[in-house]
């Protein structure tokens, strides 16, 4: 689930190893891959993102458009990264990379400090020459065109000021950097030629030039630096908490140590950006999926190689210049600072720099931009069919609009805006909604059955196929525990990380400076950008509920998948999955299932009281105005979980009294899973958000995480078993019962085979 990561957001992502699904790469042979929920649903649908989720459950039809908004935000950030990378590639075509280590250039300031200065010092309260090293000034004043004012320079330190600017500097509208505009134009001309002139070769281009070629080039660069005698040390220093609390310009600067690595792992493995989106969407009507069996495994190779390269370069720099310090942040603070300095002081540095930036251009810029372009085309073209007959005009207008909006990021201090878009595009809320929709509303059991239908698997009773096949209980355990925990801990990192609270408000104030309006209008616009995906989902949900009300339909009708979504199912051949949890509890002699449900109900009443106390304590802190009370996200989460918990208790009591409807326990299983995930997410942050790694001196968070997982998992398994028992008890056992219960106008076997929405486990084959 977690792999070695390079600095955050450095390019494409792979799919999380949660579910396993079979993708065809040829008519005679196949390769099985672990894929994510989003990826599997998209492959089953064979439609674009908007129609996929509209068909899956009309109530959440807005998920496709929410993902589209996130993609637009990510695309703007990628345009700035790609333009800078292309310029670095051009400036590396020289014998010596003097721009990375010397101060003898017209764009250098009077405070510029040469890399080879033996008198440079660095202390806790003396950070100069941070932000004034040659490579940093090269990016700040030449690449991005920030104005040089030698009369007002100050060596008062702020972390990564050379890239994000000072916290008190205000963004202003002016002419964008001409080199960045030209570089951006070259990139989009290349993308236009590929998607318009050679659409049939996009699969080959992405595979060969955006994956395979970068892997080879990164390996050559890593090998070349290793032969030069690099050592694996770190130049990174932790940013003081007061600096982070003051103005959190960059989301990734706020995270520390191993916790930042885990958040980066979630970012890489959510199938949100990169190759995963292309597998979800169709390039053209009827086209097969991209060869994911090649692309997905290769996606994690590059992050690992980049992690090794950055660590080796930091060790190399620390030996040559101990005063050179770095501060964890986005990919640009490494690829435009640490790596060029490392290569400039290495043997064959210019050649290695050309190879590195060529690989980085294709892997971290052109590849993602092509995928985002195709994703957006898929989203819009399935709503407006006329676009298919005017592709050249569509792509031309689309790229012109993208370049126009990206021009704001090419202005001085445009990196502040890019940092806000990067923060706003963190998709934890959307991913949690996707998780809950697929796992509980549509039903994990139904999805598992769908996978079994479309996966070409030979019937075999071997144990290894059971544990490694598409319906493995190992993946089920991960989907109940690890996956939601990581999604929730990313939500905590985005919305509730700062001790002083008001995380979103602080990022909005720093990132909406490009809006020339009063502060309250800027905040309204900022919250609109930040919460636009969620508002879109809520608007579509309200529309679905209103439509159901007008048509005199129940809410359950808005939760059922559409008929075109069910086209891949063959109802008369659908297998009957069996609950492994039900099998385990059947073999336990002693309490009855009513006793199990009563015990769970009593325990959940206790948890309800605990949640109520936590919520009232949080509201009291808000009322008294304490620092902890400013955590608005925590208050909303507690209120939401408490409300859902109350509904779950009501349904559990009805299930205990009437013992007739197994669907009553669905809400409890969903709420218990999310409660476990949120608590584990907070505990993961408390345990690992430190610059020294895990908090080994205090095992409390880790202990609570383990105990919470074990205890709530046992309750969830018991609820699954009780629900399966109620369902089995409701099945007619005699032919006469069946003829009395089922309607005469439909075959009884269809009704009897209809599965509920609850996730269950498949029975294990015999050894």
Q: Could you read off the pLDDT of 21-71 as tens digits, one per residue?
A: 223 222 222 233 334 555 566 666 667 778 888 888 888 888 889 988 888
Task: Return d(Cα 218, Cα 370) in angstroms, integer.
Answer: 21
Q: Which residue has the higher pLDDT, 362 or 428?
A: 362
- Cα dihedral sign, 307-313-314-316: positive
Taking 70 as the threshold, does the pLDDT of residue 632 lie above it? yes
> Is there a single domain that holds both residue 357 and residue 247?
yes
Whether 614 is in a domain gets the answer yes
> Is there a single domain that holds both residue 507 and residue 533?
yes
Taking 50 as the threshold, does the pLDDT of residue 172 lie above it? yes
Give CB contacts under 8 A, 24+ apart, made by 377-384. Answer: 377/195, 378/48, 378/49, 378/281, 378/282, 378/283, 379/48, 379/49, 379/50, 379/64, 379/65, 379/67, 379/68, 379/281, 381/48, 382/47, 382/48, 382/50, 382/51, 383/50
Whether 108 is in a domain gets the answer no
- Lowest mean pLDDT segment, chosen from 136-140, 281-285, 736-740: 281-285
Question: Quick one: which H or E segment has residue 34?
Answer: strand 30-35
Whether 432 is in a domain gets the answer no
pLDDT of residue 578: 60
> Is there a single domain that holds both residue 363 and residue 504?
no
Asked whether 730 and 660 are in contact (CB, 8 A), the reply is yes
> Is there a single domain that holds both residue 677 and residue 731?
yes
> Is there a single domain that holds both residue 263 and residue 333?
yes
Give mean pLDDT, residues 220-224: 91
> Is there a single domain that holds both residue 681 and residue 638?
yes
Share of the chain above pLDDT 70, in %: 75
Whether 68 is in a domain gets the answer yes
Question: Quick one: which H or E segment has residue 753?
Answer: helix 748-753
Question: Quick one: which H or E segment has residue 22?
Answer: strand 19-24
Question: Quick one: which H or E segment has residue 666?
Answer: helix 666-688
Task: Return d(Cα 144, Cα 205) in angstroms, integer.
Answer: 30
Task: Return d(Cα 414, Cα 144) in angstroms, integer.
Answer: 9
- Looking at every residue in the chain, the average pLDDT score rounds to 77
Burial class (CB in 10 A: 0-12, 13-18, 19+), 631: buried
C-alpha radius of gyration, the chain, whole number: 28
Contacts of 79 (CB under 8 A, 6+ apart): 184, 187, 369, 402, 403, 406, 409
> Is there a single domain that holds both residue 414 and residue 472?
no
Last residue of a domain, one of 426, 451, 482: 426
Task: Return d(Cα 57, Cα 559) in angstroms, integer.
Answer: 5
Residue with tokens 């009591």: 653
Domain count, the chain: 2
Task: Return d(Cα 182, Cα 752) in angstroms, integer.
Answer: 65
Whether 762 is in a domain gets the answer no
Max CA pair span of the chain: 95
Domain that holds residue 667: 443-753
Residue 750's pLDDT band, with cuts at 50, 70 and 90, is: very low
C-alpha 414, offset from chain centre: 24
- Lowest mean pLDDT segment, chosen from 515-529, 559-573, 653-667: 559-573
Share of the chain above pLDDT 90, in %: 18
Residue with tokens 């995480």: 705
Last residue of a domain, one of 372, 391, 426: 426
Task: Return d(Cα 52, Cα 61) in angstroms, integer.
Answer: 8
Give mean pLDDT, residues 298-314: 79
Residue 297's pLDDT band, with cuts at 50, 70 and 90, is: low
Task: Return d(Cα 525, Cα 527) in angstroms, integer.
Answer: 6
Residue with tokens 């269950």: 760
> Is there a single domain that holds both residue 687 and residue 717?
yes
- Cα dihedral sign, 669-673-674-676: positive
> Is there a single domain that holds both residue 374 and residue 461?
no
Whether 684 is in a domain gets the answer yes
Last residue of a domain, one of 368, 394, 426: 426
Residue with tokens 């001409």: 178
Give mean pLDDT, residues 2-30: 30
> Is there a single domain that holds both residue 506 and residue 411?
no
Asked whether 331 and 126 are in contact (CB, 8 A), the reply is no
Residue 42: CA count within 13 A, CB half-sphere:
30
pLDDT of residue 499: 74
> Is there a single domain that holds both residue 454 and residue 421?
no
Task: Return d(Cα 649, Cα 668) in angstroms, integer.
Answer: 7
Residue 626's pLDDT band, with cuts at 50, 70 and 90, is: low
And the tokens for 496? 């509730």
Whether 80 is in a domain gets the answer yes
Q: Which residue has the higher pLDDT, 11 or 358?
A: 358
And the tokens for 654? 């009805």
Going by their DSSP bridges, the two strands 19-24 and 30-35 should be labelled as: antiparallel
Whether 2 is in a domain gets the answer no
> Is there a single domain that holds both residue 327 and residue 473?
no
């Amino acid at each position: 689930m977690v792999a070695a990561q390079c600095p955050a957001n450095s390019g494409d992502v792979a799919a999380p190893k949660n579910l396993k699904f079979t993708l065809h790469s040829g008519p005679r042979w196949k390769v099985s891959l672990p894929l994510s929920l989003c990826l599997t649903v998209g492959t089953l649908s064979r439609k674009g993102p908007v129609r996929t989720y509209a068909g899956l459950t009309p109530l959440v039809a807005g998920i496709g458009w929410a993902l589209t908004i996130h993609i637009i935000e990510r695309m703007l950030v990628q345009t700035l990264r790609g333009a800078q990378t292309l310029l670095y590639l051009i400036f590396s075509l020289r014998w010596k990379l003097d721009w990375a280590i010397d101060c003898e250039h017209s764009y250098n300031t009077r405070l510029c400090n040469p890399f080879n200065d033996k008198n440079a010092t660095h202390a806790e309260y003396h950070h100069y020459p941070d932000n004034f090293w040659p490579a940093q000034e090269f990016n700040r004043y030449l690449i991005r065109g920030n104005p040089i004012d030698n009369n007002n320079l100050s060596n008062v330190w702020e972390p990564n000021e050379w890239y994000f600017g000072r916290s008190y500097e205000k963004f202003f509208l002016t002419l964008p950097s001409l080199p960045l505009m030209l570089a951006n134009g070259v990139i989009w001309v290349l993308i236009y030629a590929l998607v318009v002139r050679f659409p049939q070769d996009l699969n080959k281009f992405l595979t060969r030039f955006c994956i395979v070629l970068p892997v080879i080039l990164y390996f050559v660069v890593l090998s070349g630096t290793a032969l030069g005698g690099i050592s694996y040390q770190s130049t990174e220093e932790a940013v003081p908490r007061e600096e982070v609390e003051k103005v959190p310009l960059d989301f990734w600067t706020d995270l520390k140590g191993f916790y930042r690595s885990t958040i980066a792992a979630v970012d890489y493995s959510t199938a949100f950006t990169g190759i995963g989106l292309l597998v979800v969407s169709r390039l053209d009507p009827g086209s097969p999926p991209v060869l994911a069996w090649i692309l997905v495994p290769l996606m994690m190779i590059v992050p690992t190689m980049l992690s090794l390269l950055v660590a080796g370069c930091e060790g190399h720099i620390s030996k040559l210049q101990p005063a050179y310090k770095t501060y964890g942040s986005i990919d640009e603070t490494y690829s435009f600072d640490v790596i060029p300095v490392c290569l400039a002081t290495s043997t064959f540095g210019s050649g290695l720099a050309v190879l590195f930036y060529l690989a980085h251009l294709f892997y971290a810029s052109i590849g993602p931009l092509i995928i985002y372009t195709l994703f957006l085309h898929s989203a819009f073209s399935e709503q407006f069919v006329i676009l298919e007959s005017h592709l050249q005009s569509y792509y031309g207008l689309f790229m012109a609009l993208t370049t126009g909006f990206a021009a704001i990021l090419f202005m001085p201090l445009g990196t502040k805006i890019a940092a806000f878009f990067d923060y706003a595009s963190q998709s934890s809320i959307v991913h949690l909604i996707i998780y809950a929709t697929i796992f509980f509303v549509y039903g994990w059991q139904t999805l598992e059955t769908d996978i079994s239908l479309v996966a070409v698997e030979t019937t075999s009773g071997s144990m290894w196929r059971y544990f490694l096949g598409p319906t493995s209980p190992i993946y089920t355990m991960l989907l109940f525990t690890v996956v939601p925990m990581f999604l929730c801990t990313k939500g905590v990192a985005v919305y509730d990380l700062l001790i002083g609270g008001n995380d979103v408000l602080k990022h909005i104030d720093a990132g909406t400076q490009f809006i020339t309006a009063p502060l309250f209008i800027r905040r309204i616009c900022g919250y609109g950008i930040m919460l636009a995906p969620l508002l879109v989902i809520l608007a579509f949900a309200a529309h679905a509920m209103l439509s159901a009300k007008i048509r005199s339909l129940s809410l359950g009708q808005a939760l059922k998948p559409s008929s075109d979504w069910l086209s891949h199912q063959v109802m008369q051949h659908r297998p009957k999955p069996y609950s492994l949890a039900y099998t385990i509890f059947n073999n336990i002699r002693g309490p009855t299932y009513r006793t199990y449900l009563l015990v769970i109900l009593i325990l959940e009443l206790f948890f309800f009281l605990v949640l109520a106390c936590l919520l009232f304590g949080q509201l009291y802190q808000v009322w008294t105005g304490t620092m902890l009370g400013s955590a608005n996200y925590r208050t909303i989460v507690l209120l939401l979980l408490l409300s859902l918990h109350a509904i779950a208790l009501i349904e559990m009591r009805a299930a205990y009294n009437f013992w007739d409807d197994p669907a009553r326990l669905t809400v409890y299983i969903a709420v218990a899973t999310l409660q476990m995930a949120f608590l584990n997410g907070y505990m993961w942050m408390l345990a690992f958000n430190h610059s020294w790694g895990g908090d080994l001196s205090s095992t409390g968070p880790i202990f609570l995480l383990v105990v919470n997982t074990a205890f709530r998992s046992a309750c969830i398994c018991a609820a699954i078993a009780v629900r399966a028992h109620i369902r089995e008890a409701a099945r007619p056992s005699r032919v006469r019962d069946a003829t009395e219960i089922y309607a005469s106008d439909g075959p009884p076997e269809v009704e009897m085979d209809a599965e509920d929405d609850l996730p269950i486990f498949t029975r294990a084959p015999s050894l």
